[in-house]
Structure 1
Amino acid sequence: MSHAHRHHARCACALRAMAGKPFVLPGTTRKYERSRPFSIEHIALDLTLDMGRKSVEGSATLTLVRVDPEATEVRLDAVALVIASVQLDQGQGPQPVRYVHDGEVLVVTVAEGVSRARLVVNYRATPRRGLYFLAPDEHVRDRPTQVWSQCQDEDARYWFPCHDKPHARQTTEMRVRVPKGWYALSNGTLQGHTTEGEHEVYHWLQGKPHPSYLVTLAAGEFSVLDGGEVAGVPLTYLVPRGREEDGQRTFAGTPAMVAHFGQVTGTPFPWEKYAQVVVSDFIFGGMENTSATTMYEHILLDPRAALDISSDDLIAHELAHQWFGDLVTCRDWSHGWLNEGFATYFEHIDRERRLGLDEYELGVKGDLDAYLTEAVSRYQRPIVCQDYEAPIDLFDRHLYEKGGLVLHMLRRTLGDELFWKGVQLYLSRHAHGIVETRDLLRALEDASGRSLERFFDQWVFKAGHPTVEVKVEHAGGLLLVEVKQTQKTGADVPVFAFDLEIDIYPEHGEPRREILPVEGVTESFVLTQEDRPRFLVVDPRFL
């Protein structure tokens, strides 16, 4: 969005400095997922933070369930972990087991007869990504001492062993020892808080499955603010000490957002709690960890800043992810727009609730400008794209802004009732599961009775957008409208089929809207119009 509306960075949105270059460079290989002969049902972490060494030590206990009856090994992502021991527990207690660790993948031997077991990995990690240790230094003397995680897109592997892909969902728990006086936040509900010598011990349990990239830890000296409840869900805001008033001011709109998003999606807030924690030096604007969003420090507004700007766009974006990304998760990052497109669009849904339709459309127009900047000056790609170097490359204006614009067009095409009916069906049908773009397509088709194959094929699975020239002539009581698509077409960029709306404002009388079905490169339409119109508005609703 333009600066006047979107003041904050968001989760993982990156600007690629690739002016004039294609998205896919020579040598880029298509990405496919590896096999998963064992599913992971639960991950239990028991960790101690070592602030001096900026490391974490402890154990990860993974509950494995066999899928492939002939498999003899399980492969876990575990980058630069120092493995002390690996044990397998089949019900008779942990026993040492053979393993190989090459610094990136931990391969553990599992006998064919084992259908279910607990794998215990004792290890130490000094992560260069995924988990970050902050402390004052000669450059930033007032930096607070904190630890926080940022696992999206595939960085959980740097601090605990897991299947680090979005389609692998499991329940999780974390028992973590932190310095005395600290608070440690993680996913789910707090099971216990005790003191062991110089450590505070926090035990969190996430009882509903979620992917590894949404596992979180944020630890430091925070003030915990009570945000009230919405439909029985407790809200909390964790802010640096001394910023309590700014925290209440900044997050004041959260309860109304939670209620509204639950209403339009037909799904009440799907987790046990919702916490928002503000940390220092966070690498993105926010991160939608399940039930516990992390925000960067710039989100907090003092009384003077609050007169001019708002943090509601970022708050709404990360909150929307609790449904889109957390409750239903893209199968792989090529379908990541199902996470980010929805979250971007829900910024405008919240803006429409608070400020009205004009502000909604202004926000949509800002996203259109942002997408077109990338599409015209950098590259064009399909929203769903399996050809990329690293997952972070996909987190661009196509994934966020164009993804949100597609949802806007679907809403305008289907109408509010059918669009929201389809979204509600999509969420209820796939809750706590993984999704692909065709799952959304089918839900919208089932809810509306309309065929949307062509819409999704050209707007989501193909690249580009229509560039249109419209010429209008009036003669003999007729209005002649010629529409020409001028975009360069090819294997990835199609000739688009769409309905072009035109509002006609006559010299006398009320304006009327005409819908012109465009399917070819050049289309001509003849409309009855006795008097020469004063003016016309092409695409008045940003369809």
Structure 2
Amino acid sequence: MPHKLLGLTAVFAFRLITATILAALTAMVPGQPSHTGAYNVVKYSVAIEVNDTTSHITGNAGIRVITGGEASEIILDLVSVNSDGAGMTVDSVLKDGTRAGFTHEADRLVLPAPATDTTVTAKYRVYYNGIVDDGLIISTNMYGDRTFFADNWPNRAHQWFPCIDHPSSRAEVDFTITAPSHYQVIATGLLQKRINLPGNRTAHYWSSSVPVPTKVMVFGAAPFAVEYNGYIDTIPYSNWVYPQNACEGFASFSATPGILRFFTDLLGPYPFEKVANVQSTTRYGGMENAGNIFYHEAAVAGERDLEYLIVHEMAHQWFGNSLSETDWPHLWLSEGLATWLTDWYYMQKHGEQALRERMQSHRQRVTGFANTRLAPVVDHHPGKLTDMLNPNSYQKGSWVLHMLRRKIGDELLLEGIAQFYKAYQIGHACTEKFMNVMEEVSGTDLEEFFDDWLYSAGHPVLSKNTSFSNGRLTMELVQTQQHKMAFTFPLDIRFVFEDGSEQDHTFDIIFRRHEFVIDMPSEPARIILDPDTWLLYELI
């Protein structure tokens, strides 16, 4: 039965106070974008008006900044007008209600900092307008209807509002979206009110008290069919799809309640005020925007089973949204963890053998990618940020966790992931922080493991040669990869004989070349490396 979305609960009011304090304290965390210095944005109040005819928007953004008094200026990201006339023009700026000077060039908006030696809060209001070229996708959907969807990842929010456009900076956000009245509007947080305005326009007020990075604070406006499904436990749940495919669209999200409960049991309470699945006309197949997940229009309208895409994007609500990477080289903490959590869900549903087949598919993606671009998972030189959407961040990240599962066991791995989230939720962390938590939980030194699989490029490339004589099998195993002398890992080998019997042996590989001599009843008919799919490697 449909339920109207409610206002903020006491839980989120508590989070509001806690998260504001945390945001202020993280202003100078290593990995923070260099221009933030001794300040941090703790809240955005973004008002945008869109129209039915052009890509021109008018907007004003309230920006609340906490500064420790060391900043001489406040620098925000906001796209400048380019040679084609697209981009934003700043009309005026208010600082604490008084008109203030500013400069805006080279995609940087520079505002005057408070003249103080103590920690203070400054409130700015930036009035601007311009033609949107990216970040806010204004287009027509697959049915020819005009739509507006924010599509901020990785750092495209500044294409349509002034902000610190980096995953380490997080803030609360309010959106006031004014649009022609035939549009429905969905945005981060909870709907507070709608106001009908002259000229057949409606203003939609959404508010969130949970600080998030700009990459996942969004709105969407389209002719939606909306299904309010009441609550998943205490979380409001709704689906927003295009009217032309409403029946199949609503049905495609039916797995959502079970998926949400799976993750709350595994990781802890859901971190945002609502769950909304949204059919969208954007760049990506799925985008984990906080509390309102955008799915590409074709995926929702087609016959594709969305269950595992929903699982992946739901996992991001914990890893990627509530706990973000400190900086882009650590993207695997979002994408790799979400991929592994999807794999874990898949195993719980289909069993270990199904997981092995899935990991074998991942392995092919990873080794294939390494043959085109050899780079570590923690990649400080990716080229474009979008180039990090590659098998290293996704499938190899999952493989690292899969191998860590073997090293420390299921129970400790799951405990470590939960403890990592608990320690850094509503915040951000880097790979070293993750390693530290895992070492503490498992009591195991993991530095060599992390160096091999996350900070080093590639994977073991193995060759083997065998001979059999006088009841003994001699095996030479060589790591042939050129980029690294040797990886360290356990290697399982299964020897299968003509009568169907088997012998399993595990060898600790620490050198580039090993030779093993093993007593055998007869020469094996087959030799299978890694029979249970625990190792990321390539055999030549």
Counterpart position of 1:346: 341
Comparing 428-437 with 398-407, which one deviates more in the overlay?
A: 398-407
Q: 1:364 to 1:229 in 2, by over 3 A?
A: farther
Counterpart position of 1:88: 95
Counterpart position of 1:8: none
1:120 alignment partner, one of 103, 117, 125: 125
How big is the shift at 1:503?
Answer: 2.2
Assess if the C-alpha contact under 8 Å between 1:250 and 1:299 holds in 2.
Answer: no
Q: State the SS of the aligned residue for 2:48.
A: strand
Counterpart position of 1:256: 258
Q: Map Cα deviations across residues 149-196 of structure 1 (whole Å, 9 max, x no partner).
A: 100111000100001111001111111112113211111111122222
Assess if the C-alpha contact under 8 Å between 1:249 and 1:301 holds in 2.
Answer: no
Counterpart position of 2:460: 466
Counterpart position of 2:441: 447
How big is the shift at 1:506?
Answer: 4.8
Work out the CA distance in 2 between the residues paired with 1:70 and 1:345. Answer: 42
Assess if the C-alpha contact under 8 Å between 2:51 and 2:180 holds in 1.
Answer: no
Assess if the C-alpha contact under 8 Å between 1:225 and 1:244 holds in 2.
Answer: no
Assess if the C-alpha contact under 8 Å between 1:38 and 1:66 holds in 2.
Answer: yes
Counterpart position of 1:287: 287
Work out the CA distance in 2 between the residues paired with 1:184 and 1:431. Answer: 28
2:103 alignment partner, one of 100, 108, 120: 100
Q: 1:517 to 1:147 in 2, by over 3 A?
A: same
Instruction: Write the mapping of 1:373-412 to structure 2, written as runs, cut at 5 A.
Output: 373-376=368-371, 378-412=372-406
Counterpart position of 1:221: 223
Work out the CA distance in 1 between the residues paired with 2:523 and 2:182. Answer: 76
Comparing 217-226 with 242-251, which one deviates more in the overlay?
A: 242-251
Comparing 343-352 with 451-460, which one deviates more in the overlay?
A: 343-352
Assess if the C-alpha contact under 8 Å between 1:287 and 1:293 holds in 2.
Answer: yes
Instruction: Write the mapping of 1:97-496 to structure 2, written as runs, cut at 5 A.
Output: 97-113=100-116, 115-135=120-140, 142-197=143-198, 198-265=200-267, 267-280=268-281, 282-301=282-301, 305=303, 309-376=304-371, 378-489=372-483, 493-496=484-487
CA RMSD of aligned residues (A): 2.0
Q: 1:513 to 1:230 in 2, by over 3 A?
A: farther
Counterpart position of 1:17: none
Work out the CA distance in 1 between the residues paired with 2:221 and 2:465. Answer: 61
Whichever structure has more helix as a proportion of its residues is 2
Work out the CA distance in 2 between the residues paired with 1:103 and 1:346. Answer: 40
Instruction: Write the mapping of 1:45-64 to structure 2, written as runs, cut at 5 A.
Output: 45-64=46-65
How big is the shift at 1:393?
Answer: 2.0
Work out the CA distance in 2 between the residues paired with 1:170 and 1:393. Answer: 26
Q: Map Cα deviations across residues 193-227 of structure 1 (whole Å, 9 max, x no partner).
A: 22223122211111111111111111011011234
Assess if the C-alpha contact under 8 Å between 1:125 and 1:158 holds in 2.
Answer: no
Identity percentage over the alignment?
26
Assess if the C-alpha contact under 8 Å between 1:70 and 1:112 holds in 2.
Answer: no
Q: State the SS of the aligned residue for 2:58.
A: strand
Counterpart position of 1:74: 74
How big is the shift at 1:359?
Answer: 2.1
Counterpart amino acid of 2:509? V
Counterpart amino acid of 2:172? T
Counterpart position of 1:13: none
How big is the shift at 1:131?
Answer: 0.4
Work out the CA distance in 1 between the residues paired with 2:67 and 2:283. Answer: 37
Work out the CA distance in 2 between the residues paired with 1:151 and 1:397. Answer: 21
Q: 1:233 to 1:127 in 2, by over 3 A?
A: same
Counterpart position of 1:65: 66
Q: State the SS of the aligned residue for 2:244.
A: coil
Count of aligned pairs:
493
Assess if the C-alpha contact under 8 Å between 2:241 and 2:250 holds in 1.
Answer: no
Counterpart amino acid of 2:327? D
Work out the CA distance in 2 between the residues paired with 1:195 and 1:245. Answer: 29
Q: State the SS of the aligned residue for 2:50.
A: strand
Q: State the SS of the aligned residue for 2:527.
A: strand
Comparing 226-235 with 443-452, which one deviates more in the overlay?
A: 226-235
Q: Map Cα deviations across residues 243-278 of structure 1 (whole Å, 9 max, x no partner).
A: 22202321111111111122233x132211111110
Work out the CA distance in 1 between the residues paired with 2:347 and 2:52. Answer: 45
Q: State the SS of the aligned residue for 1:181.
A: coil
Work out the CA distance in 2 between the residues paired with 1:166 and 1:535. Answer: 50
Question: Which 5+ residue runs of structure 1 have no aligned equivalent?
Answer: 1-30
Q: 1:228 to 1:361 in 2, by over 3 A?
A: farther
Q: State the SS of the aligned residue for 1:300.
A: helix
User: Runs of at least 4 residues of structure 1 off by over 6 A?
Assistant: none
Q: State the SS of the aligned residue for 2:439.
A: helix
Work out the CA distance in 2 between the residues paired with 1:169 and 1:436. Answer: 15
Assess if the C-alpha contact under 8 Å between 2:485 and 2:512 holds in 1.
Answer: no
Pick 1 or 2: higher relative contact order, CA cutoff 8 A, min separation 6. Answer: 1
Q: State the SS of the aligned residue for 2:531.
A: coil
The normalised TM-score by structure 2 is: 0.87
Assess if the C-alpha contact under 8 Å between 1:155 and 1:213 holds in 2.
Answer: yes
Counterpart amino acid of 2:292? A
How big is the shift at 1:534?
Answer: 4.2
Assess if the C-alpha contact under 8 Å between 1:237 and 1:276 holds in 2.
Answer: yes
Q: 1:55 to 1:494 in 2, by over 3 A?
A: farther
Question: Which 5+ residue runs of structure 2 have no aligned equivalent?
Answer: 1-30, 81-87, 536-540
How big is the shift at 1:531?
Answer: 4.0
Assess if the C-alpha contact under 8 Å between 2:134 and 2:156 holds in 1.
Answer: yes
Work out the CA distance in 2 between the residues paired with 1:327 and 1:512. Answer: 47
How big is the shift at 1:32?
Answer: 8.7
Work out the CA distance in 2 between the residues paired with 1:329 and 1:148. Answer: 22
Work out the CA distance in 2 between the residues paired with 1:264 and 1:483. Answer: 40
Work out the CA distance in 2 between the residues paired with 1:75 and 1:460. Answer: 33
Q: State the SS of the aligned residue for 1:405.
A: helix
Assess if the C-alpha contact under 8 Å between 1:51 and 1:133 holds in 2.
Answer: no
Work out the CA distance in 2 between the residues paired with 1:541 and 1:468. Answer: 17
The normalised TM-score by structure 1 is: 0.87
How big is the shift at 1:448?
Answer: 0.8
Counterpart amino acid of 2:254? A
Work out the CA distance in 2 between the residues paired with 1:55 and 1:529. Answer: 76
Assess if the C-alpha contact under 8 Å between 2:76 and 2:164 holds in 1.
Answer: yes
